[in-house]
Structure 1
Amino acid sequence: MERPQQKESSADRRLGGDTLSWERRECPRPGSDSSPQGAKQTWSVQDVWWGWALTGNSLPGLCWGLWDQGQPEVLPKPSIRADPGTMDAQGSPVTIWCQGSLLADVYRLYKERGSVYLEAKAPQGSRNKARFHFASSSSSEAGQYQCAYHTRHSWSEQSDPLPLVVTGMHRKPSLSARPGASVPRGENVTLQCHSEVQSDTFHLSKQGSLAAPQHLRLQDTAPPVQANFTLRAVTSAHSGTYRCYSSQSTAPHLLSLPSDPLELHVSGSSWGLQTPPTSASSTSAE
């Protein structure tokens, strides 16, 4: 680095009564945390340990270095998804994709916000995403995942959490409808999920729905147990195929086998042509 030239003008040597001088000294460089949980900012120029400090009687020292020429770079947060989905049968394969940046060189997949992670180098042909494949889903793979990626300068922040649920961990519950599986439009219907296995949480899903499964937690867990999901003032959008699962709150990502499917038909609907509801219906427990 070339030392700044000093002018002979007194205006360049004095400021507010202070005598100014240039002094070569070790300057603090802008810090960047190397951890994915660290700061979001990185620096797009090489770090410099030495610079020129402008000092005076009332100036603590103003460091000037190459980093002053750099602009802070904010790394976009990656996205994460599971293929074929976030609910997978025991023994089936699942792939988690992390999408980051074309500048990425390494990707990491974290489970349950822990320090243990899987790492993958960015593929040469598509550096903006990485693939983490599990050949067989089990209780070991179930849990909550986040991912991050690394560029030349630092790590990105972690993605939003992705829950990976594994089904088939114990016996299936049964699902029935009261007063029946065929109900007039505007009436209420209760879908009853019954389990002979000790459970405190039940899940109701609708085939083809974009909405997340409904969840209902019970206080009394001694088998047999039953959860009642009430669909109020049903419309044609409620028609479809339903299944329920049971689980323990201590292992929220490990579900039972699915119940046998229940076909719910709302009279007056055009069967098979309905758009799935986009939000969960109300639930109640009896």
Structure 2
Amino acid sequence: MRRETMGGGAQTPALTALLCLGLCRAPWDKAQAGTLPKPSILADPGPLVAVGSPVTLWCQGSPQAEVYRMYKEGGLQPWVVQAQQDSRHKASFSIIQSMSSYDSGQYWCVYLTSLGPSQPSDPLTLVVTGMFPGPSLSAQPSPVVASGGNVSLSCGSHRVGTAHLLKEGGAGPLHSPEARFSQVAGVWQATFLLGPVDSTHGGIYRCYRADTVEHHVWSLPSDPLELQVTGLHREPSLSALPASLLLLGQSLTLRCHCEPSCDRYALTRPEGDTSPQHLAGQPSPDFLLGPVSGSLGGRYRCYGGRQGPYAWSAPSNPLDVLVAGMYRNPSLQAQPGPSVPRGAMVALRCGSEEAMDTFLLHKPSDPLQLEVSGGPEPSSPSRPQPGSPTASAPEDHTLENLIRIGVAGLVLLGIGLLLADAWYSHKRTRAAGQQ
């Protein structure tokens, strides 16, 4: 590697650029424009370089190349490499052994042939990271987002600057979203809105803060944030083995059944209807919980995953796991009593000496034996015939009969009194006439 001066004496950056990219076009124009392919420039291991780390720049051109030149924005002169005879289409410039803020900026390269120089490559932005503490990164409402929904990623910092959001395995820093920090409740914050989300949005994100003056000088990265997308295929079913109501100390297995089969499964116990904050997948559909304790009780859902580590199904229907044996046994009573005739109503009352907000009718209170008297229910709702096994017992009408007899006696007595009065009146009238 050697440096090549562009003319004698000291050169200003503007003059250097003019001489290298302007005047050099004369022989290139004579070499029939468009006959030489434009080179490409690459950074190994990447365009984001931690402070103090080495980086190698590559310029890839044409087999016709004889000399490669690497330029830096603001630099006085290019780095020059003679093309190797066995690999004339690519040249490496191991120019940076320890990355610093001085080495950050834009680079481009050209190559020379017997016909003249090529066009310059597209620029490569080299960023130095780790120059100051990293920001924080969070997702609202949750890093687990349903397909078609929206999510905002918030990058927070104690200093002002420019925020850059990068996705692992995604575009380089030149194409990453960037935003200015604004102050919210005393903290500088930049928000990136994503949505409607689909499977391509799933992945690992980090954010950086860039210096307000030196835009290619960045902070350490934030802690990684894993964005997971749900609802990309049909929901699985969730079942409990041996049952969803268990005593303390028993073993419980929750099984997530995915159709068609999934390659990983996740179990969540969200609070209320809030979305989970993370889906930790495992290859087995069985989740062994036990020995069961009170802390394992709650509402569970499961997800099935396929098509990548960040793509999940819709959630299963909820399954409530109930743990018994946490408190003293309640009491169970039957009213009006434990022995009732068939067809009658009976109330079972569950009572506890401790304040409870929910009661379930099952076992593990002390058992209550409920006896039902009478034969089997009739096959039809028709009235039973007298003498049949299902006929009801005869009713007692004694009181009704006594009342009827009493009323009849009073009526007869009244009639007798009227007849007697009429007879005495007739007799007195007759005696008076004879006198």
TM-score, normalisation: structure 2: 0.45
Counterpart in 2 of 1:170?
Answer: 132
CA contact (8 A) 1:38 1:157 kept: no
Cα 1:210/1:275, change in 2 over 3 Å: farther
Q: Is 1:261 aligned to residue 216 of structure 2?
A: no
Tell me, what secondary structure is at the counterpart of 1:140? helix
1:182 is matched with which residue: 137, 144, 159?
144
Letter in structure 1 aligned against 2:226: E
CA contact (8 A) 1:106 1:151 kept: yes
Cα 1:230/1:118, change in 2 over 3 Å: same
The whole-number CA distance in structure 2 between the counterparts of 1:221 and 1:158 is: 44
Cα 1:243/1:105, change in 2 over 3 Å: same
CA contact (8 A) 2:183 2:189 kept: no
Counterpart in 1 of 2:249?
Answer: none
Counterpart in 2 of 1:111?
Answer: 72
Cα 1:145/1:40, change in 2 over 3 Å: same
Counterpart in 2 of 1:273?
Answer: 308
Letter in structure 1 aligned against 2:220: L
Q: Which runs of 5 or more structure 1 residues have no equivalent in the other structure?
A: 1-32, 45-69, 277-286
Counterpart in 1 of 2:207?
Answer: 244
2:62 is matched with which residue: 101, 105, 125?
101
Residue 167 of structure 1: how far off its partner (Å): 1.0
Letter in structure 1 aligned against 2:128: V
Deviates more, 1:160-169 or 1:86-95: 86-95
The whole-number CA distance in structure 2 between the counterparts of 1:244 and 1:96 is: 25
Deviation by residue 1:148-172 (Cα, 9 ceiling, x = unmatched): 1222353323211111111111101
**CA RMSD across the alignment:** 3.0
Matched ranges for 1:49-64 at <5 A = none
CA contact (8 A) 1:173 1:193 kept: yes
Tell me, what secondary structure is at the counterpart of 2:200? helix
The whole-number CA distance in structure 1 between the counterparts of 2:46 and 2:199 is: 26
Residue 104 of structure 1: how far off its partner (Å): 2.3
Counterpart in 2 of 1:42?
Answer: 27
Q: Is 1:136 aligned to residue 171 of structure 2?
A: no
Residue 145 of structure 1: how far off its partner (Å): 0.2
Tell me, what secondary structure is at the counterpart of 2:69? strand
The whole-number CA distance in structure 1 between the counterparts of 2:67 and 2:160 is: 41
Residue 147 of structure 1: how far off its partner (Å): 0.7
Deviates more, 1:181-190 or 1:166-175: 181-190
Counterpart in 1 of 2:116?
Answer: 154
Letter in structure 2 aligned against 1:189: V
Tell me, what secondary structure is at the counterpart of 1:170? coil
Deviation by residue 1:13-63 (Cα, 9 ceiling, x = unmatched): xxxxxxxxxxxxxxxxxxxx984433646389xxxxxxxxxxxxxxxxxxx
Counterpart in 1 of 2:47?
Answer: 86
Structure richer in helix, relative to its length: 2
The whole-number CA distance in structure 1 between the counterparts of 2:59 and 2:115 is: 19
Letter in structure 2 aligned against 1:161: P
Tell me, what secondary structure is at the counterpart of 1:237? helix
Q: Which has the higher contact order (CA 8 A, sep 6+)?
A: 1
Tell me, what secondary structure is at the counterpart of 2:103? coil
CA contact (8 A) 2:202 2:310 kept: no
Q: Which runs of 5 or more structure 2 residues have no equivalent in the other structure?
A: 1-17, 233-304, 312-435
User: How many residues end up aligned between the 2 structures?
Assistant: 218
Percent identical pairs in the alignment equals: 46
CA contact (8 A) 2:66 2:111 kept: yes
The whole-number CA distance in structure 1 between the counterparts of 2:224 and 2:126 is: 22
Tell me, what secondary structure is at the counterpart of 1:37? helix
Counterpart in 1 of 2:256?
Answer: none
Structure richer in strand, relative to its length: 1
Cα 1:232/1:155, change in 2 over 3 Å: same
The whole-number CA distance in structure 2 between the counterparts of 1:153 and 1:222 is: 62
CA contact (8 A) 1:236 1:274 kept: no
Cα 1:94/1:132, change in 2 over 3 Å: same
The whole-number CA distance in structure 2 between the counterparts of 1:99 and 1:84 is: 16
Residue 71 of structure 1: how far off its partner (Å): 7.3
Matched ranges for 1:182-201 at <5 A = 182-196=144-158, 198-201=159-162
Deviation by residue 1:223-262 (Cα, 9 ceiling, x = unmatched): 7311011112222322211110001242121111000011
Between Structure 1 and Structure 2, whose CA radius of gyration is higher? 2
Counterpart in 2 of 1:226?
Answer: 189
CA contact (8 A) 2:31 2:116 kept: no
CA contact (8 A) 1:34 1:155 kept: no
